[in-house]
Amino acid sequence: MFINNVDQCQWIRQKIETPGILQFTNSEKRTLLARLIRSTRFEDFLARKWSSEKRFGLEGCEVLIPALKSIIDISSAAGIESVIMGMPHRGRLNVLANVIRKELDQIFCQFDPKLEAADEGSGDVKYHLGMYHERINRETDKNITLSLMANPSHLEAVDPVVQGKAKAEQFYRGDTRGKKVMSILMHGDAAFAGQGVVYETFHLSELPSYTTHGTIHVVVNNQIGFTTDPRVARSSPYPTDVARVVNAPIFHVNADDPEAVMYVCRVAAEWRSTFNKDVVIDLVCYRRFGHNEMDEPMFTQPLMYKQIRRQEHVLKKYSDKLITEGVVTLQEFEEEVAKYDKICEEAYTSSKDEKILHIRHWLDSPWPDFFTAEGEPKSMACVPTGLDEEVLQHIGQTASSVPLEDFKIHPGVSRILRGRADLVKNRQMDWALGEYMAFGSLLKDGIHVRLSGQDVERGTFSHRHHVLHDQEVDKRTCVPMSHLWPDQAPYTVCNSSLSEYGVLGFELGFAMASPNALILWEAQFGDFHNTAQCIIDQFISPGQAKWVRNNGIVLLLPHGMEGMGPEHSSARPERFLQMSKDDPDHFPEFSGDFEVQQLYDCNWIVVNCSTPANYCHVLRRQILLPFRKPLIIFTPKSLLRHPDARSSFDDLATGTKFKRLIPDQGPASQSPAEVKRVIFCTGKVYYELAKERKLQKLESDIAIIRLEQISPFPFDLVRAEAEKYANAELVWCQEEHKNMGYYDYVRPRFLTVVANKRPICYVGRDPAAAPATGNKSTHLNELKRFMDTAFNLSAFKGKDL
Angle of helix 238-246 relative to helix 196-204, nearest 10 degrees, comes to: 30
pLDDT value at residue 603: 96
Vertex 474, ends 468 and 475: CA angle to 5°?
Answer: 55
- Cα–Cα distance between 401 and 417 in angstroms, integer? 6
pLDDT value at residue 112: 83
- Cα–Cα distance between 746 and 729 in angstroms, integer? 16
pLDDT value at residue 224: 57
CA-based end-to-end distance of the chain? 69
Cβ atoms 714, 597 nearer than 8 A: no
pLDDT value at residue 52: 85
Alpha helix segments (H runs only) across 373-483: 389-399, 411-425, 431-444
Q: At residue 513, does pLDDT exceed 90?
A: yes
**β-strand pairing of 631-635 with 554-558:** parallel
Q: At residue 258, does pLDDT exceed 90?
A: yes
pLDDT value at residue 648: 98
Q: 175-189 pLDDT, tens per residue?
A: 999 999 999 999 998
pLDDT value at residue 231: 39
Q: How confident is the model at residue 230 (pLDDT cuts 50, 70, 90)?
A: very low
Q: CA-CA distances (angstroms) from residue 203 to 160, 208, 608, 629?
A: 10, 11, 33, 29
**Average model confidence (pLDDT) across the chain:** 93
pLDDT value at residue 119: 62
Average pLDDT for residues 141-166, to the nearest whole number?
A: 95
Average pLDDT for residues 2-25, to the nearest whole number?
A: 89
Q: CA-CA distances (angstroms) from residue 525 to 160, 587, 780?
A: 21, 35, 21
Q: At residue 753, does pLDDT exceed 90?
A: yes
Q: 727-738 pLDDT, tens per residue?
A: 999 999 999 999
Q: What sign results for the dihedral spanned by CA atoms 531, 537, 539, 541?
A: positive
Q: 493-505 pLDDT, tens per residue?
A: 999 999 999 999 9
Q: 365-406 pLDDT, tens per residue?
A: 888 889 988 888 999 988 899 999 999 999 999 999 999 999
**Which residues have a Cβ under 8 Å from the Cβ of 482 and sit 6 or more positions away?**
488, 490, 491
Comparison of pLDDT for 243 and 555, the residue scoring more: 555
Please give the model's pTM, rounded to 2 decimal places.
Answer: 0.95
pLDDT value at residue 423: 97
Residue 451's DSSP bridge partners are: 493, 520
The length of the chain, given as a count of residues = 801
Residue closest to 221 by CA, chosen among 308, 285, 154, 289: 285
Residue closest to 696 by CA, chosen among 677, 671, 669: 677
- Cα–Cα distance between 504 and 449 in angstroms, integer? 16
Burial zone of 479 (CB within 10 Å; 0-12 exposed, 13-18 middle, 19+ buried):
middle
Alpha helix segments (H runs only) across 445-526: 501-512
Residue 23: strand, helix, or coil: coil
Average pLDDT for residues 419-423, to the nearest whole number?
A: 97
Cβ atoms 347, 103 nearer than 8 A: yes
Percent of the chain scored above 70 by pLDDT? 96
Q: 68-107 pLDDT, tens per residue?
A: 999 999 999 999 999 999 999 999 999 999 999 999 988 8
**β-strand pairing of 116-117 with 356-357:** parallel
Q: How confident is the model at residue 113 (pLDDT cuts 50, 70, 90)?
A: confident
pLDDT value at residue 156: 95
Average pLDDT for residues 522-535, to the nearest whole number?
A: 96
pLDDT value at residue 226: 46
pLDDT value at residue 225: 46
Q: At residue 610, does pLDDT exceed 60?
A: yes
pLDDT value at residue 240: 60
Q: At residue 238, does pLDDT exceed 80?
A: no
- Cα–Cα distance between 755 and 783 in angstroms, integer? 32
Average pLDDT for residues 464-485, to the nearest whole number?
A: 96
Centre a 10 Å sphere on the Cβ of residue 256 and count the other Cβ atoms it contains: 27
Residue closest to 709 by CA, chosen among 593, 610, 584, 638: 610
- Cα–Cα distance between 383 and 441 in angstroms, integer? 15
Rounded-to-10 torsion of CA 441, 444, 450, 456: 50
pLDDT value at residue 752: 97
Percent of the chain scored above 90 by pLDDT? 80
DSSP letters of 726-771?
TTSEEEEEEEEETTSTTHHHHHHHHHHHTTTSS-EEEEEEPP-SSS
pLDDT value at residue 373: 83
pLDDT value at residue 233: 40
Q: At residue 509, does pLDDT exceed 90?
A: yes
Q: 205-221 pLDDT, tens per residue?
A: 989 999 999 999 999 98
Q: At residue 358, does pLDDT exceed 80?
A: no
Cβ atoms 526, 557 nearer than 8 A: yes
- Cα–Cα distance between 559 and 565 in angstroms, integer? 12
Burial zone of 208 (CB within 10 Å; 0-12 exposed, 13-18 middle, 19+ buried):
exposed
